[in-house]
Every structure is written in structure tokens, then in C-alpha cells.
Amino acid sequence: MNRALALRLLLLAALCFATYAATLNVPLFEDEYPTLSLAHQYGAPGELGDLFHNPVYRTRATTYWVMLAVYRLYGLQPWAYRMASLAFHILATWLVYALARRWQPMRPAALWAALFFAAAEGHQEAVVWFAGFSEPAMLVFGLSALLCWLQAGRSARGRLWNTAGAALFALALVSKETAPVWLPLFLLALPRGEWRRGLWRLVPYVLAATVVAASILAQHGQSFRFSDGSFSLHAPFWITGPRGMARLLWIWGWLALVVVAIARRRELWKSAGLALAWCGIGLAPYCFLTYSTQIPSRQTYLASVGLALLFGLAVAHLETVPAIGRKLVLAVVVVALGANIGVVWLRKRRQFLDRAAPTQELIRVARLYGGPIFVQCFPRNHWIAEAAVYWAAGLPPDSLVWTAEESRQRKVKAVFCFRAFNQLKR
């Protein structure tokens, strides 16, 4: 590795850290405690059999493996889980840079795209929320597989590169159930002249994705993803898709499109079209959600690679315009990055703290009074509260009482209620 490349990688890592340093001390969120329970149930090496027999949890295996490892090393220290996610975000940012350098139409945009991806606030939930760790895990393993697959077409050791790519793709498939969406992205990044050979090299990846998808469909009756109504082919994708794309592009993507449109350069338009296609493919699986026509921010993580490439292309073009000096281009980039970092520090951090507050307050009360505790009002599911007091307060799940009748029978030690303004009664 030459010195210039090492400095760029350090710059990208530093920018990732600067963006998310404000969130490292945010307490664990409510559903990170049930995820920890699943990590203990399925994450140990001896539990591989049970894990891969479960149609839901086997496609989130990397989350459980990493979370269990973090727990065994650091217990419930929030910063450890945030740092694990952040480490994967740094890897993802480096891989975005590597992809753009390897992908000919995106090469001029490589550094600008990676800088934007590092600081983009639109996908912040995927980086901060460890229960959403499946997104950065899938991106890291998917991008690594893609780069190996592309290298296999140009290397004398093509078989070795393809084998490594297939292994990494397998890890992507056990990171999230939407990982087969990588297959069209592989083809998108392939030069047209290499399609025939590339399709043959893609066969092992297609077979692996088909096996995983078929196994999920064959056991769909055991999966709450199909039974709880959160995903359906009958969902209003014609609303969710365009709305998701519009929100993903806001505001820097739209400004980049204006720059591209004004440029009137056919090659730039084609490159921007590839970036937009990446965005659309990345969002496609989430257009079939039924609980909302607004795609959650964590599920834009893959699609935001396309947004970063689009932003990078616009900045790279501005560099070539004689009337626009390099200082002005740098000023534009600094403003864009600063605005994104500011959103994470000033608005999102506060939202994360508010999100963690109900569970953290319940844990405080559980530690203070022990059980049983009558939970009169709690803005989360019962199983979230029970997992939280089990892991953080050492109390059994049945230490929480949910009905007035049971509270009278068990002589509760405290009555807990969390509304918009925290109310606690003894």
C-alpha cells in the first residue's frame, strides 16, 4: 500500500469516527436486548445446527455471532456495540472507495463518493442501532464478494478470487435475507464487454442465492416475516418505491442531479444512470413493506452507495469546470459533509437518547427496587421490557407484572409508568 492510499484510508476512517463519535455513549436501544437473547441462543459455535434450521434467524447469523463476541468481551457496555457497528461502517466506506476505483465510470468520483458515504446521515440508523447490524454486515460482505468477483475476471488466479468471492457472498447471505439483491448489482458493475464471461462466473453465486431463497419460501410458515404482515408482494410498492427514492436523494442527490443535468455530458449522464440504478436496486426489496410506505433509514444503507457515487460524480465534474476553482469545490464538499455530521450530532443523537429512555428508566427502577414491578404503561412490547430487565438488572422475566389483578396478588414493590413525560410511582 502506497503512502497516498494509506492517508486516504485514514482520512475516511477519521471521518466515519467524527460523524458517529457523538453516538458512542448512547445506551442500548430497546430491541437490542431481545437481540442479545437471540445471540446467546443461536450465536455460539455449538448452536449452528439450531441456527441454520431456523428460517428467520439463519439469515441474520452474522449479527448474533458479532453481538455474542462483543458481549463476552465487554458485557453490556454500550460503546462496545457502537464501536463494532462503526468498525463495519469504516470497512464499508473503504470498500465503497475500492469499488469506485475499480468501476471505470465511477473512478473520478472515488474519493468524493467515499467521503460522502462515510458521513451520510440518511443511513445513520444502520450504523448506530446494533439490532440493524445486518445492514452493514451485508454491505461489507457483499461488496467484498463483488470486488473479488470483478478481480476474478482479470486475474491469472481467477479461480482463487472467485472462490473467495463465493465464500464472502455466503456470509452476505447469512447476514440478511435480502442479500440476493446483490446479483443484479454484480452485473451492473460489470463492463459490457465482459458480460458473457461474467455470467458464467456468477453461476455459483446464483445457485447459493437460489438455495437460500428457496429454503426461506419452503419454511415460510415458520417465519414471522410472512405471518405478521410486515412484508407482502401485494404491498403498495408503486407508492413506497418512488417515495423511498425521493427521500434517499434528498437533498444532496437532487443537487447532484442538477449538476449532472446542466453538464450536458453523455458519459456523465450514463454514469449517473448507473448510480441511480444502484439506488433503485438497493431499495427494491423494501418497497414491499406493509407497515409503512416510508422505508426505514437503516434499510437505505445499501442504496446509499448509489447516492454516494452520484454525489461523487457531480463533485468530480465540478472539478473539471474552469470557472469553478478547486477551493470552491472543496468548500461545497465541506458544507455537504458538515451538514450531514451536524444532523447526526445535533438531531439524531437526541432522537437516539429519547428512543432508549423508556427501557433505560425501566432498568433503573428494576435495579433499585427489584421485583415484582407492576408496569402500568410502557411504550414497547412486553418481551422487550422482560429481556431488558433480565440482561441489565438480572431479574427474571416474570418479575414484571402487566395486569392490576396480578399486581394485587403478588404485592409488587414498585409501579412503573413511562409516558411522554416520565412518571414513576412507588
pLDDT tens-digit series, residues 232-283? 667 778 888 899 999 999 999 999 999 999 998 999 999 999 999 999 999 9
Query: Quick one: pLDDT at residue 424?
Result: 40
Query: Quick one: pLDDT at residue 214?
Result: 85
CB 361 within 8 A of CB 375: no
**3-class SS string, the chain:** CCHHHHHHHHHHHHHHHHHHHHHCCCCCCCCHHHHHHHHHHHCCHHHHHHHHHCCCHHHHHHHHHHHHHHHHHHCCCHHHHHHHHHHHHHHHHHHHHHHHHHCHHHHHHHHHHHHHHHHCCCCHHHHHCHHHCHHHHHHHHHHHHHHHHHHHCCCCCHHHHHHHHHHHHHHHHCCCCCHHHHHHHHHHCCCHHHHHHHHHHHHHHHHHHHHHHHHHHHCHHHCHHHHCCCECCCCCHHHHHHHHHHHHHCCHHHHHHHHHHHHCCHHHHHHHHHHHHHHHHHHHHHHHECCCCCCCHHHHCCHHHHHHHHHHHHHHHHHHCCCCCHHHHHHHHHHHHHHHHHHHHHHHHHHHHHHHHHHHHHHHHHHHHCCCEEEEECCCCHHHHHHHHHHHHCCCHHHEECCHHHHHHHCCCEEEEECCCEEEEC
Q: How confident is the model at residue 388 (pLDDT cuts 50, 70, 90)?
A: very high
Neighbours of 72 (CB within 10 A): 12
CB 176 within 8 A of CB 215: no
Query: Quick one: pLDDT at residue 423?
Result: 42
Is the predicted pLDDT of residue 287 greater than 90, yes or no? no
Q: Tens digits of per-residue pLDDT, 20-74?
A: 999 999 999 988 999 999 999 999 988 888 888 887 788 899 999 999 999 999 9
Is the predicted pLDDT of residue 143 greater than 70, yes or no? yes
Is the predicted pLDDT of residue 307 greater than 80, yes or no? yes
CB 278 within 8 A of CB 96: no
Neighbours of 404 (CB within 10 A): 11
Cell of 155: 486475474
Query: Quick one: pLDDT at residue 365?
Result: 94
Amino acid at 150: L
Query: Which one is predicted more confidently, 101 or 156?
Result: 101
> Which residue in 95, 92, 254 sits closest to 189, CA to CA?
95
In sequence order, what are the beta bridge partners of 416?
375, 424
> Which residue in 171, 170, 288 sits closest to 225, CA to CA?
288
Cell of 299: 434499510
Cell of 134: 445486518
CB 294 within 8 A of CB 243: yes
Q: How does strand 373-377 pair with strand 414-418?
A: parallel
Mean pLDDT of 378-394: 93
Mean pLDDT of 117-129: 96
Predicted TM-score (pTM) above 0.85: yes
Residues above pLDDT 90, as percent of the chain: 71
Query: What mean pLDDT is reported for the chain?
Result: 90
> Which residue in 136, 156, 143 sits closest to 60, CA to CA?
136
Cell of 390: 433480565
Query: Quick one: pLDDT at residue 224?
Result: 53
Query: Quick one: pLDDT at residue 422?
Result: 44
Amino acid at 189: A
